[in-house]
Every structure is written in structure tokens, then in C-alpha cells.
Amino acid sequence: MRKIISFLLLSFVVYALQAQIKDPVKFKTELTALSDTEAEVVFTATMDKGWHVYSTDLGDGGPISATFNVDNKSGVELVGKLKPVGKEVATFDKLFEMKVRYFENTAKFVQKVKFTGGAYAIEGYLEYGACDDESCLPPTQVPFKFSGVAKAGNAATTKTEQPKAEQPEQKVVDKADKKEGATPVVSKDSSAMMELVPATTTEAATDIQSAVASSELWKPVISDLQALGEEHGQEDMSWIYIFITGFLGGLLALFTPCVWPIIPMTVSFFLKRSKDKKKGIRDAWTYGASIVVIYVALGLAITLIFGASALNALSTNAIFNILFFLMLVIFAASFFGAFEIRLPAKWGNAVDSKAESTTGLLSIFLMAFTLSLVSFSCTGPIIGFLLVQVSTTGSVVAPAIGMLGFAIALALPFTLFALFPSWLKSMPKSGGWMNVIKVTLGFLELAFALKFLSVADLAYGWRLLDRETFLALWIVIFALLGFYLLGKIKFPHDDDDNKVGVTRFFMALISLAFAVYMVPGLWGAPLKSVSAFAPPMQTQDFNLYKNEVHAKFDDYDLGMEYARLNGKPVMLDFTGYGCVNCRKMEAAVWTDPKVSDLINNDYVLITLYVDNKTPLTEPVKIIENGTERTLRTVGDKWSYLQRVKFGANAQPFYVLLDNQGKPLNKSYAYNEDIPKYIEFLQTGLENYKKGKN
């Protein structure tokens, strides 16, 4: 394991810090006939001085072995394994702590195949590893594709050369089945890493019979960005933000009918069970600490069950987002009084009886566990919403941090009232006000449920919940909340008191004002305060607002070709349908007249959604950091581009490129400073003009 980690670290460091992308190995590929029924796929490599290519079957824990990989084949059968040909160097490698075999100067690998008769086709790639004395290349692929007809007495003697993996041959394909509104498309690259999928332009009406989509555009520019002052590292949610969110959720849970009445009873019990006041306070502290341990353990359990990578996938997965939507709707219905979500009573009774039969710290811990069980009907929806929010960050510790904030807020009153018992007399008594809070939370749960439905809708292109539909539902929800707070709507658990207190009045005023505020959004107003939740502006069908920015392309290679032909720099926008900060930037920054003018007139904007679930024409297998991965969707492809070319995986991520795919300025992440964003765009434009002169 240590050897593998060492190799991956070495490869990554070299890959990220090289001043220029190295190209020390060049491959030639040909199909050589041996007879009427047999042939050989021959890979011949030439290497720069000092470099070597590793041989086959080196074993686990070592460098990348040369392997023959087939994506598709028909009329062809493989005969044996890939064979190395030529003089191998065998030596003990100190880095890998094992004996390795490699070729210097030149290398040849041969795979024998057999024709079964008639038409044949075979497509795949050779994967190899290469190093010199200082650095190693990442796993590299040499694609190949051969086809023809094998006839008896007529050997397939035609040789077809393939270019090197870094610059695979491209073909333009004229699609016969053109869809309505579709632009001409570029065929998929013969290289897996560079596969091109049909591109759909958003605005550009230019008929682009794209020239060859160059793999040069996919080459990493991480070192170039670093030279420009690149600063890496951003998260959609910081740990502090997650903690505060959890803490606020815990405070809300305190004021629910399931928790608030328990506080004085529990504190009084601790103070009366012991004649020693200090021991009573110590028991209360232990009780509070037990609550923290229980809920933090719940957060860790969520991570252990699903895993960090799976949690990250929740942010755009349709099934999970729909489940979250349904869960929040059910929780909202529970808060409205339709039913009570309760854990089995026998669970609480069992834990409670166990607490009575034990003493010491275990007894106190079991009492805290009983509180968690009996208060679930009120805390469950809040915890569920919190975990849904933080789980989509993909962080291993995010759920635990969220639960830590929640538990501290929940446990704090028990310890504070134990320290200051006189405060118990000033506690507001239980009453209808707690149910008002509970119902208000139900309305909020219902509103946020639509956010998760919207993410699934956008990622899969269903177009069920466009921006105006989303806003219309939110307007109705918050208007109804305002009427409820004014006493115009009643639910089963509400009392008959028609009086509206001052606090409820101002809450109703805020809710109704918020509903009115969103009304202009039905005609295209930016609505910056809700931009993080509402679908993107381009999903709105009826829009009177003109000062907007729309991407010309949603395909990288096609957009780059258009920019080259028109002599304009490119602005790449890596975004996501579920990206909150992306929507904030679009509403708060892109709507500025100066910003929109620069993007619309001086740049070619290419927007790439990393969570676009549109399937690729066929799955693509790639090797990333020594691990084989499969790209199945358009979003997978753009996410891979962002990682391999720019060394980033967070959104929003903006980068300015020239027509060769080189950066014109350091990248820009989430920052609503409009003057800074204008400077970012103007600097890129100036550097582009300098490069052309």
C-alpha cells in the first residue's frame, strides 16, 4: 500500500507542478496481417533520452504495466495476452521496492488477434506507464480502431497507423438523424479521454462544421494557473457554516412541544436526586454531554453507512433528491398536525426502564437517549433537513459537525438551568405558541422540499419545475404562512385563541412581504435573495428582464472552435444545477451591466454543468490517478475536464482561456465583489490581446 501511495503522490506532484506538459513518448499503431485468419496489433514506441516505458505484468504495488484493453469488437478474437518485444531492462527499483522491467529508447508491444470471418472491427487502447529518473507520467492511453473484411485467401495486409494518445485522430461525422433545434455535432473522439458527445448550443446560430477538436485543448494547465497566482481550495459549505446551521436547528428544536416541557422536569430531577448540589450540577453536565455524544454519533453513522463519495452524489442523484423531497413533505404534514411521527413506544419504555435500573453515568446516558427517542416527532424533521443539507457537501465530517452544533444547542439549556436553577421560574410556560413555531417550521420544510425536487428536475432535464413554477409555489407557501400567523388559517393542533400577538404579527408581515417581493420574479426579475434556491434564469419561459447573461455553448470543444474562428477569448463556467453559490453569482454579479456587457460581447461563454445527467453516447473508461473510472454522463465528462485540466472540483469555477486552451488569468471562485470580477474579466481580455500581437 505504501508503494502505491508513493507512486501516486509522485505522479500527482509531477502532474500538477510541471511548467510544461511533457510528451516524452510517441506511439505508432498498426495492424499487420499474418495470414488469412490472423493478424497482430503492433504498438511501437520511441522515447526521449532518459525516459523508459514499463513492460507487461509487473504485479500489484508497482508502476503502471502495459495492458491491452478492448472497448468494442466484432468478428475478432484475441489470441493470448499482450506480449512485449525487444530488449527489456530488469532492475530493482528503490521507489517501488520491487523488481521492475522496462524498455529504453524504443519499445514494442504485440497483441495477436484472430478473424472469425467476414467483416471485422476492433476498438480499444493500450495503457502504459512511463518514468524518467525524476518524474513519472500519469497512466496514458494509446487508442486504436481497425475495421475491414477478412476473406479466405486474401489476407488483411493493410496497415493503419494511429497517432499518439495525446493527439488522437478526429473525424467529422454528418448525422443523418438530426433533431429539431440541434446544431451540427462532432463525433466522439477515438480516445476515451477525449470523447466528444453531441453538443447543443443555447444561442449561437452559427452553422459550425467543426474542424478537428484538438486534444491540446484538454491538456492540463495547472502549472500555468499557479504561475498566474492561482489559489486553490473552496467549499460550498465551510465547517463553521455547517456548525452554525446545526446550532440554529437545535435552538429551533428547543422551542417545540416535545422538548421545551421536558427541560424543567429533567433539571429538577437532577437537583433533587442528590443532596449534594455540586453532584446535581455535575449530573446535568453529564446529561448534556451525553446528548452531544448521541447526536454526533448519529452524524458519524450517516457517513459510515453511505460514505463520503456517496453523500456527494446525493446532491444531484434523482432518486435521492426525490426521496428527500418526499421526506420533507411528510415531515411538513406531520408538523401541520396530519399525524405524529413517533418511534415505537416500546423503545422508549425499554430505555427508560433500563435507566431506572442502573446507576451512575450509564443511567444518565440512558436518560439522554430516552429524550432523543421521545422528542423524535419534533426533532426528527429538523435533523432530517439538516443531514440532507450537509450530506451533499461530500465531506466525511460534515454530518458530524452539523450534529455537534445541533446537540450543543439542545444540551445547553439543561446545563445552564442546572447551574442557575432560579432561571426556571422565568421560563415561558408551555402553550399554543410552541405549536405556532412547529407549524411555521412545517411551512419552511415544505418550501425547502421544492429545492430538492428542483435539483432532480434540472439534472435530468424533466422541465417540470421551471423558475416561474418554482417561484409561484414559493409565493403561495409564504403567503399562506403569513395568513396562518395572522390567524386566518388553523390546523388541528391550534387552539381557539383568535388573538394575534405582536411577534406573530411581525412574523406575518415579513412572510407576506417576502411573498410580494418574489412576484416580479414571475416576469424575470433577478430576485437576488432567493437566487441560491430558485432554478437558473434560463429555465424561465416568460422573461421581460433583458440584462442577462446566457451561455453561447454548453459543449467545451465546440465552443472553443467557435471562439477560434471568431477570434475571441473563452470564459469557462463550471457550474451545477444543485450549486447554490452558482445561482448567487449569476443573480448578483452577472446581472451588473458592465459584467454582462463584457461576457456577452467580448467573450464566448461556455457553461458546463458537472451534474448534467444526460447519458453519453456510450460509457467511457478513463484512468485517473492510477484508478479506472467510467464516465457515463455529460456531467461526468465536464467534471473530469475540470479535474484533469484545471486541478479543481468545486463550483462555481470560472477560468478564462485563449484559443489554444491556455489560461489568461487565474481562476475565479465564489465572490460577489463586482469590481473584482470586472477586473478579472478585463485582465483576461488584455492578456488575450497581448498574445495576439
Position 276, amino acid: D
User: What pLDDT is recorded for position 396?
Assistant: 57
Give Cβ neighbours of residue 348 (< 8 Å, ≥ 6 apart).
Answer: 370, 373, 374
- Measure the CA dihedral 519/520/524/526, to 10°: -100
All 3 cell numbers of residue 508?
A: 406575518
Residues in the chain: 693
pLDDT digits (tens, 9 = 90+) for 341-371: 665 555 545 545 554 555 567 777 777 777 6
552: phi then psi, degrees, rounded to nearest 5? -75, -30
Query: Is residue 16 predicted with pLDDT exceeding 80?
Result: no
Helix-, strand-, coil-residue percentages of the chain, each rounded to 5 = 45, 20, 35
Residue with more model confidence, 98 or 594: 594
In this prediction, residue 35 has a pLDDT band, given cuts at 50, 70 and 90, of confident
Summarize pLDDT for 263-273 with one digit per residue, the tens.
Answer: 777 766 666 66
Residue 690 has pLDDT above 70, yes or no: yes
318 and 460 in contact (C-beta within 8 Å)? yes
CA atoms within 13 A on the CB side of 221: 24
Joined together, the cell numbers standing for residue 366 give: 440512558
Instruction: Report which residue type is found at 122.
Output: I
**Distance separating alpha carbons of residues 558 and 580, to the nearest angstrom:** 27
Tell me which residue of 473, 446, 297, 423 sits closest to 369, measured CA to CA: 297
- The reported pLDDT for the residue numbered 569 is 94
pLDDT at residue number 270: 64
Q: Helix crossing, 376-391 with 398-419: angle to 10°?
A: 140
With contact defined as beta carbons under 8 Å apart, do 52 and 104 qualify? yes
C-alpha–C-alpha distance, residues 301 and 293, integer Å: 12
| 67-81 pLDDT tens trace | 999 988 888 999 999
* Least confident segment among 7-16, 462-471, 484-493, 556-565: 7-16
d(CA 64, CA 61): 9
More confident residue, 420 or 492: 492
What cell does 323 get? Answer: 426521496
Q: Cα–chain-centroid distance for residue 288?
A: 36
Amino acid at 98: M
pLDDT at residue 210 above 70? no
Query: Rounded CA gap, 604 and 457, in Å?
Result: 27
Q: Are 532 and 580 spatial neighbours (Cβ–Cβ below 8 Å)?
A: yes
Least confident of 207-216, 226-235, 321-330: 207-216
Higher pLDDT, 96 or 683: 683
Angle at 86 between CA 81 and CA 91, to 5 degrees: 90
Write the single-letter amino acid at 129: G
Instruction: Report whether 643 contacts 624 (CB < 8 A).
Output: yes
Binning pLDDT at 50, 70 and 90, where does residue 18 land?
very low
Does residue 310 or residue 53 have the better pLDDT? 53
Least confident window among 85-99, 461-475, 512-526, 555-569: 85-99
Here the cell at position 579 is 450549486
Q: Which of 422-431, 510-519, 683-692 has the lowest mean pLDDT?
A: 422-431
Beta bridge partners of residue 68, listed in sequence order: 126
The pLDDT tens digits for 571-611 are 999 988 767 778 888 888 888 889 999 999 999 999 998 87
18 vs 400, more confident: 400
Q: In what order do the strands lie in the sheet containing 98-104? A: 89-93, 98-104, 52-54, 130-131
Give the containing element (helix H, strand E) for 101. Answer: strand 98-104
pLDDT at residue 513 in the model: 95
Please, are residues 379 and 258 in contact by the beta-carbon 8 Å criterion?
A: yes
Residue 474: name the closest of 540, 523, 533, 524 by CA.
Answer: 533
Least confident stretch, 331-345, 381-395, 530-544: 381-395
pLDDT digits (tens, 9 = 90+) for 120-179: 999 999 988 888 765 666 677 889 999 888 765 444 444 444 443 333 333 333 333 333
How far apart (Å, rounded) are the C-alpha atoms in residues 58 and 619?
A: 28
| Cα–Cα distance, 240 to 542 (Å, whole number) | 39
- Give me the amino acid identity at 444: L
Arithmetic mean of pLDDT, 17-45: 79
Average pLDDT, the chain: 75
SS3 state at 367: helix
The more confident residue out of 438 and 214 is 438
CA 448 to centroid of chain Cα atoms: 19
- Measured CA to CA, the distance from residue 316 to residue 634 in angstroms comes to 13
pLDDT digits (tens, 9 = 90+) for 670-679: 888 899 999 9
Position 658 scores a pLDDT of: 93
Furthest-apart CA atoms within the chain: distance in Å: 105
In sequence order, the 6+-apart residues with CB closer than 8 A to the CB of 343 are 373, 376
Q: Give dist(CA 46, CA 208) in Å, integer.
A: 37
Integer-rounded Cα radius of gyration of the chain: 31
| β strands within 135-256, DSSP E | 140-150
**pLDDT, tens digit, 9 for 90 and up, residues 607-625:** 998 878 888 888 888 887 7
Q: How would DSSP label each residue in 183-199?
A: PP-PPPPSSSTT-----
Q: Which among 250, 237, 252, 566 is positioned nearest to 389, based on CA atoms?
A: 237
Highest mean pLDDT among 6-20, 153-167, 510-524: 510-524
In the block, residue with C-alpha cell 530493482 = 92
Using CA atoms, how far apart are residues 255 and 546, in angstroms rounded to an integer?
45
Higher pLDDT, 422 or 534: 534
Query: Considering only CA atoms, which of 288, 255, 246 is closest in space to residue 403?
Result: 246
The stretch 549-555 carries a mean pLDDT of: 85
Q: What interhelical angle do 277-306 and 376-391 show, nearest 10? A: 50
> Which DSSP helix (H) or strand (E) runs through 656?
strand 653-657
**Cα distances (Å, whole numbers) of residue 557 to 183, 591, 660:** 14, 27, 11
- The three cell numbers of residue 175 are 448525422
92 strand-pairing partners: 99
| Residue 542 contacts residue 523 (beta carbons within 8 Å) | yes
The residue that leads in pLDDT, 168 or 560, is 560
The residue among 387 and 163 whose pLDDT is bigger is: 387
Residue 401's nearest CA partner among 238, 234, 579 is 238
pLDDT per residue over 288-324, tens digit each?
888 888 878 877 776 666 554 445 555 556 677 788 7
Task: Write down the pLDDT at residue 262.
Answer: 73
Q: Are strands 604-609 and 570-575 parallel, antiparallel or unpaired?
A: parallel
Which tens digits make up the pLDDT trace of 462-496?
778 888 999 999 999 999 999 999 988 988 877 76
| Residue percentage of the chain with pLDDT more than 70 | 70
DSSP state, 315? T
**Residues 6+ positions from 574 with CB-CB distance below 8 Å:** 608, 610, 638, 642, 648, 651, 652, 653, 654, 655
**In the predicted model, is pLDDT for residue 27 greater than 70?**
yes
Residue 13, pLDDT above cutoff 90: no
Q: Among 30-39, 189-198, 359-368, 447-456, which is the least confidently predicted range? A: 189-198
**Among 242, 246, 290, which residue's Cα sits nearest to residue 405?**
246
Q: Band the pLDDT of 49: cuts 50, 70, 90.
A: confident
211 within 8 A of 196, measured Cβ to Cβ: no
For residues 476 and 27, what is the distance between their CA atoms, to the nearest angstrom?
64
b/e map of 276-292 (b: 16 or more CB within 10 Å)?
A: eeeebbebbbbbbbbbb
